Amino acid sequence: MEIFNMIPIADRLQGVGEYYFSGKLREIDALNREGKQIINLGIGSPDMPPHPDVITALQQNAALPNVHGYQSYKGALVLRKAIADWYKVWYQVDLDSETEILPLIGSKEGLMHICMTYLNPGDEVLVPNPGYPTYSSAVTLAGGICRNYEMKEQTNWAPDFNALAQEDLSKVKLMFVNYPHMPTGQNGHLALFEKMVAFAHRHQILIVHDNPYSFILNEHPVSMLQVNGAKDVVIELNSLSKSHNMAGWRVGMLCGRKERIDEVLRFKSNMDSGMFLPLQLAAAKALSLGKDWFIELNKVYARRREKVFELLDLLKCIYQTNQVGLFVWASVPNTIQDGFAMSDSVLYNAGVFITPGGIFGTAGNQYVRISLCATEEKLMEAIHRIK
């Protein structure tokens, strides 16, 4: 036993801690075992099912005898065509289903694939602060160096391109961006995307746009690939997790020009053996759903968001009402030290967990984030407890 204790972990794990929610969920489980019955408003895991036709498609195809073998590393053509059609209908973007789309086992794996494909030790990556913590983890695991670019509420959580242009960007290879933005709920728009594409061209940086939230509480979904010349400097990740209530199904996609897809596939094809075919066929069905699906989905989220606003009013937090996506982002009052203090206070005094904004970077220290992935009844109970 002593011999095994002497085996060191790989250097690449230095500086990469356990994902915040992984440890926090264990703490919440322990409190629940004590009888606390914690209401978890932290994680954005949709609590509603996919469309019934999607589940039927999975069931029917899984019952077939010839669908259980290894699949193409590039994904089934029927899924790639469905993704291309989806991008054309909703984003007005033309994608070649043969060469410009790579299905992923969830878009989160795509972040790692991209970093492993393009980063050598010492290469730098521009990472948003606040932003999704996995960006930094993926960069570090691949041997890259994170260069945080801080965003502020006063500038609508957009990068300060003028400030970035004054820096030495010679070692920067990638830039992560994410609109609609998580955690702040700031929407994306073409004027901002045009600035990003121009910045990437000027400094020869590949932009990785993470775009899983564009259909939630948002009437006008936008893709960065809509911008003229974007395919030269942008690869876009997307996902069915939020838009179609399929988080646990792990269906995502990478979209971009042929050369980028081929490059990432060189790495990805060594990491997995394709996605279960019935799941791909069901995902294609989900992508064919019409506007009614999103209208009904967003009616539910809109009602929940009103309850979250009510909860935040009780906590004397300040927030913008035009946020989009699965969360509400709010600044804590001056009487509270930071978002961590508010999160702990609400957890231990009211049995409600809300996410401290500081886990998304130092620029989020004075904020909290609340998920809309809880029923109105649970949100009302959380309000009652906080009162």
Q: For 114-169, write each residue's pLDDT tens digit.
A: 999 999 999 999 999 999 999 999 999 999 999 999 999 999 999 999 999 999 99
pLDDT band at 11 (very low <50, low <70, confident <90, very high): confident
Same structural domain for residues 37 and 66?
no
Q: Which two tokens stand for residue 258?
A: 């042929």
Is the pLDDT score of 28 beyond 90?
no
Specify whether 245 is located in the same domain as 97: yes
What integer pLDDT is reported at residue 7 of this predicted model?
79
The number of beta carbons lying within 10 Å of the beta carbon of residue 165 is 11
CA atoms within 13 A on the CB side of 169: 22
Question: Domain residues for 140?
Answer: 52-287
Give the model's pLDDT for residue 18. Answer: 65
Amino acid at 172: V
Together in a domain, 322 and 256: no
Looking at the fold, whether 166 and 296 belong to one and the same domain comes out as no
| 113 and 14 share one domain | no
Last residue of a domain, one of 287, 313, 340: 287
As for how many domains the chain has, the answer is 2
pLDDT tens digits, 48-106? 999 999 999 999 999 999 999 999 989 999 999 999 999 999 999 999 999 999 999 99
Integer angstrom CA distances of residue 98 from 36, 83, 300, 338: 52, 11, 36, 49
Q: What is the CATH number of the domain that holds 249?
A: 3.40.640.10
- Residue where a domain stops, chosen among 270, 287, 304: 287
- Of the pLDDT bands very low, low, confident and very high (cuts 50, 70, 90), residue 35 is confident
Rg (CA), the chain: 21
Do residues 284 and 82 lie in contact, with contact meaning Cβ atoms separated by under 8 Å?
yes
User: Which of 237, 266, 287 represents a domain boundary (last residue)?
Assistant: 287
The whole-number average pLDDT for the span 278-297 is 97
The percentage of residues in the chain with a pLDDT greater than 90, rounded to a whole number, is 87
| Residues 89 and 234 grouped into a single domain | yes
What's the CA gap between 381 and 362, in Å, rounded?
A: 31
User: What does pTM read for this prediction?
Assistant: 0.93
Q: Has residue 17 got a pLDDT over 70?
A: no
Please check whether residues 165 and 205 belong to one and the same domain. Answer: yes
In sequence order, the β-bridge partners of residue 208 are: 176, 235
My answer on whether 155 and 278 are in the same domain is yes
Do 314 and 325 belong together in one domain? yes
Q: Which residue has the higher pLDDT, 338 or 31?
A: 338
Same-domain check for residues 123 and 253: yes
Please indicate, yes or no, whether residues 157 and 212 belong to a single structural domain of this protein: yes
Residue-wise pLDDT for 269-282, tens only, equals 999 989 999 999 99
CATH number of the domain encompassing residue 303: 3.90.1150.10
Considering the domain architecture, whether residues 309 and 198 belong to the same structural domain is answered as no
Report the DSSP beta bridge partners of residue 370: 328
